Amino acid sequence: PTYRIASIPGDGIGVEVLPQGEIVLRAAAERYGFTLRFDRFEFASCDYYLAHGRMLPEDWKEQIGAHDALFFGAVGWPQTVPDHVSLWGSLVQFRREFDQYVSLRPVKLMPGVDAPLKTARDIDFVIVRENTEGEYSQVGGRMFSGTEREIVTQETVMTRVGVDRILRYAFELATRRGTPHVTSATKSNGISITMPYWDERAAAMAAEHPDVAFDKFHIDNLAAQFVLRPDHFDVVVASNLFGDILSDLGPALSGTIGIAPSANINPERRFPSLFEPVHGSAPDIAGKGIANPVGQIWAASMLLDHLGERDAAAAVLRAVEEVLADPAVRTPDLGGTATTETCGRAIADAVR
């Protein structure tokens, strides 16, 4: 088969790590007998914004809407464009307009990476985050502006469709992973209307999947349990906000915040899904050729998995682990002296 990939480097180190992801993808394609066609797009970057006054062209959906996947670097250059402009104008747009309602983030110990947690032994789980509604509604407003009586409100909006489809995805993923255990993040003891609804739907979904073990924790306790027994978790499903928090906390605990990937998925494939490293554009090290390309390459593995190229996906992840175990090809952030290119090439070689 032939797959069309839209490559969108974005800003800063995005421009440096994305090509390494492409090299590894090409290596995987060669070895596993499929074809990749990359088209490169310069929009969704702050340079584009400064030239055009917007993050995306008018016809962005036509330009990338028919691709099989979006391979994204990083966006943001706060020195020139406020984050809410660059992020909402690109990533959040894609999520909503392409209905990428699943955000997927693996939390996994990796060789050569020092986890901050003493008890880190057997961490290997996935966070499934609702990516389109919930706490990020943009519905609300302000009253009595600028006075002592000022009131500001914002609604959390949960829909049956939105809640059920993310829960279903989590239960099906748990089954597929062979780790049939789903943990739901809630706060129904404090957020007294939307969260009990979330619990209700989660309980219904659990009843539909009797082979999947199910438990739930309030988000405060869940954050603590991530610290106290990270090996308890397999698939963690959460609302937009809770998923956002857990998606940073998990990788911080496993020491992978600089190398973890993120997938934004439209499971029905009506629209392309997006794969990117979790790290940002890192203005402080941009242009030096020392950025760690592992996040981008790990994202490439998720991209392959989404295309159904399971063996190739597994091979890329194995290659990442192999190379991380070798001090000679680690980038400075992991205590090594390798460049972005050396590290990327080593992983591509390990795939071949």
Ligand X SMILES: CC(C)[C@H](C(=O)O)[C@@H](O)C(=O)O
Nearer CB in complex with its own copies: 36/223? 223
Closest approach of Cβ 166 to ligand X, in Å?
Answer: 14
Provide the minimum distance between the beta carbon of 239 and ligand X in the complex, in angstroms, as a whole number: 12
Calculate Rg over the CA atoms of the chain.
Answer: 20
Which residue from 2, 53, 153, 207 is in contact with its own copies, where contact means CB under 8 A?
153
The CB-of-327 to its own copies minimum distance in angstroms stands at 20
Stretch that binds its own copies, among 36-44, 56-64, 249-257, 303-311 (CB under 8 A): 249-257
Specify the amino acid at residue 133. Answer: E
The single residue among 32, 47, 78, 92 that binds ligand X, judged by CB under 6 A, is: 92
Q: What are the two backbone dihedrals, phi and then psi, of residue 261, each rounded to the nearest 5 degrees?
A: -105, 170
- According to the binding rule CB under 8 A, does residue 117 interact with its own copies? yes
Task: Select the residue interacting with ligand X from 99, 244, 305, 321 (CB under 6 A).
Answer: 244
Q: Choosing among ligand X, its own copies, none, which partner's interface includes residue 22 (Cβ < 5 to 8 Å by kind)?
A: none
Residue 79 in contact with its own copies, rule: CB under 8 A: no
Instruction: Please give the Cα distance from 172 to 274 (Å, whole number).
Output: 20
245 binds its own copies (CB under 8 A): yes
Residue 120 near ligand X by CB under 6 A? no
- Do 338 and 289 touch, CB atoms closer than 8 A? no
Strand order in the sheet with 273-277: 35-40, 2-10, 69-74, 273-277, 261-265, 102-108, 124-130, 235-238, 181-186, 213-218
Return the number of the residue (87 or 117) whose C-beta is nearest ligand X. 87
Stretch that binds its own copies, among 40-48, 116-124, 170-178, 334-342 (CB under 8 A): 116-124
Q: Which long-range contacts (CB under 8 A, 24 or more apart) does 85-93 make?
A: 85/49, 85/55, 86/11, 86/46, 86/49, 86/55, 89/44, 89/49, 89/54, 89/55, 89/56, 90/10, 90/43, 90/44, 90/55, 90/56, 91/44, 91/264, 91/274, 91/276, 92/136, 93/55, 93/56
Residues 177-236 that bind ligand X (CB under 6 A): 189-190, 220
Binder among 85, 87, 203, 314 for ligand X (CB under 6 A)? 87
User: Cα torsion for 136, 163, 132, 281, to the nearest 10°?
Assistant: 90
Q: Name the minimum Å distance from CB 56 to its own copies.
A: 18
Torsion of CA 344, 112, 317, 127, to 10 degrees: -120
Answer yes or no whether residue 93 interacts with its own copies by CB under 8 A: no
Binding pattern for the stretch 48-67 against ligand X, x by CB under 6 A and - elsewhere? --------------------
Considering the rule CB under 6 A, would residue 276 count as an interface residue with ligand X?
no
Q: For 119, list phi and psi in degrees, rounded to 5.
A: -85, 5
Q: Which of its own copies, ligand X, none binds 245 (CB below 5-8 Å, type-dependent)? A: its own copies
Conformation bin of residue 298: beta by default, left when phi > 0, alpha when psi is -120 to 50: alpha
Q: Does 68 bind ligand X (CB under 6 A)?
A: no
Residue 92 near residue 72, CB atoms below 8 Å: no
Rounded (10°) CA dihedral 227, 281, 7, 349: -70
User: Which residue in 240, 273, 331, 342 binds its own copies (CB under 8 A)?
Assistant: 240
Q: Does 311 bind its own copies (CB under 8 A)?
A: no
String of b and e for 157-167 (b: at least 16 CB within 10 Å)? Answer: ebeeebbebbb
In angstroms, what is the minimal distance from the CB of 13 to ligand X? 16
Q: Does 270 bind its own copies (CB under 8 A)?
A: no
Tell how strand 181-186 and strand 213-218 pair up: parallel
Please report, in angstroms and rounded to a whole number, the separation of the first and last CA atoms in the chain. Answer: 19
Task: Please give the residue ranges that form the binding site for its own copies (CB under 8 A).
Answer: 83-84, 87-88, 114-119, 135-136, 138, 140-142, 144, 147-161, 187-194, 197, 219-221, 223-225, 227-228, 240-241, 244-245, 247-249, 251-253, 257
Task: Please give the residue ranges that form the binding site for ligand X (CB under 6 A).
Answer: 87, 92, 189-190, 220, 244
